[in-house]
């Protein structure tokens, strides 16, 4: 929210296109490729080098607040209300996480279904504490691990597993989160729900909403939130079992349809979720048509197709 999408800050791309040619792609040399490659999901070539803007952020104000099941609903609504006034220097998300009762999980979280408020901000500690005071006011936390940390420790804010695993996932952009929407989420994947899985809602806006100086194909910048669902798939799951694991995702999507923009976020489309229609929904109709035209110009045979694929329109010849 402070700096915007990474794609907004790419200055130059070294790209090997489908004809085997290495090209220096900028807004001046190949404006169509430069526009499409920043957000186009690997459809236009193999990136072998990149020049990007950097920002001086030696430390963050960040970490996590963890609320136990009895406070999950109240804390979720408080976070929703708080996002309407949060400054763009602070980026947050909330995650409903059913922690297993196994070694390695911190004792206060072990075996509990919690709400994890995830915080990363370019603020000093005093200002950060003041900004998140309404979140802490909800009630006692199982853990309160928010403070100053070096940027190099930013991965500890979410503490996602680092081991490879199979999983089912879906996501959708939302233009609002009224109480009815939050109730629909909690009924289906909250504490006590029949289908435990990890749900995360990210607060958008700020610099994510503003287009970059050099336009790119990143779409749906006006969304307020991004919701994602993830459920682990056992390595020995049959196709029928994997399909059953996906069923709750469809239920959540249906429950949130009144507040959904109808769009998906490209980075979190994986496996069966990366079908053509879901990929299409990651862009505005105008941007998708332009991407397909650019694909036809530079990769008419769809060589780069083992990805979140954008099939080419009628082929033409590149310059």
Mean pLDDT of the chain, nearest integer: 93
Q: How confident is the model at residue 130 (pLDDT cuts 50, 70, 90)?
A: very high
Q: Which stretch of 108-122, 230-244, 281-295 has the lowest confidence by average pLDDT?
A: 230-244
Query: Residue 243: what pLDDT?
Result: 80
Q: Which residues contact 310 (CB under 8 A, 6 or more apart)?
A: 40, 41, 43, 279, 288, 291, 292, 295
**pTM confidence score:** 0.93
The pLDDT of residue 272: 57
pLDDT tens figures, 255-301: 999 999 999 999 888 765 568 888 999 999 999 999 999 999 999 99
CATH numbers and ranges of domains, the chain? 6-55+284-298 (3.30.465.10), 57-91+99-160 (3.40.462.20)
Model confidence pLDDT, tens digit, residues 193-211: 887 789 999 999 999 999 9
pLDDT of residue 94: 98
């Amino acid at each position: 929210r402070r700096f915007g999408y990474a794609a907004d800050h790419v200055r130059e791309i070294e790209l090997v296109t489908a004809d085997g040619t290495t090209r220096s792609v900028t807004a001046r040399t190949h404006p169509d490729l430069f526009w499409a490659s920043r957000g186009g999901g690997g459809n236009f070539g193999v990136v072998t080098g990149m020049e990007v803007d950097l920002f001086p952020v030696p430390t963050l104000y960040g970490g996590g607040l963890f609320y136990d099941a009895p406070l999950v609903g109240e804390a979720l609504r408080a976070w929703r209300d708080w996002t309407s006034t949060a400054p763009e220097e602070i980026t947050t998300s909330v995650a409903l996480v059913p922690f297993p009762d196994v070694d390695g999980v911190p004792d206060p979280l072990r075996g509990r279904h919690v709400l994890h408020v995830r915080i990363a901000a370019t603020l000093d500690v005093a200002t950060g504490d003041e900004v998140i005071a309404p979140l802490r006011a909800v009630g006692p936390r199982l853990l309160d691990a928010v403070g100053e940390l070096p940027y190099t420790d930013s991965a500890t804010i979410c503490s996602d597993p680092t081991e490879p695993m199979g999983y089912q996932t879906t996501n959708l952009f939302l233009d609002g989160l009224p109480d009815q929407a939050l109730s629909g989420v909690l009924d289906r994947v909250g504490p006590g729900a029949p289908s435990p899985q990890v749900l995360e809602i990210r607060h958008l806006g700020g610099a994510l909403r503003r287009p970059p100086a050099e336009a790119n194909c990143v779409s749906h910048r006006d969304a307020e939130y991004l919701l994602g669902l993830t459920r682990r798939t056992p390595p020995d799951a049959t196709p029928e079992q994997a399909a059953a694991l996906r069923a709750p995702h469809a239920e959540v999507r249906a429950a949130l349809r009144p507040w959904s923009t109808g769009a998906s976020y490209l980075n979190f489309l994986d496996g069966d979720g990366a079908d053509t229609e879901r990929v299409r929904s990651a862009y505005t109709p105008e941007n998708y048509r332009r991407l397909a035209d650019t694909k036809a110009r530079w990769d008419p045979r769809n060589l780069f197709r083992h990805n979140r694929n954008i099939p080419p329109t009628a082929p033409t010849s590149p310059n």
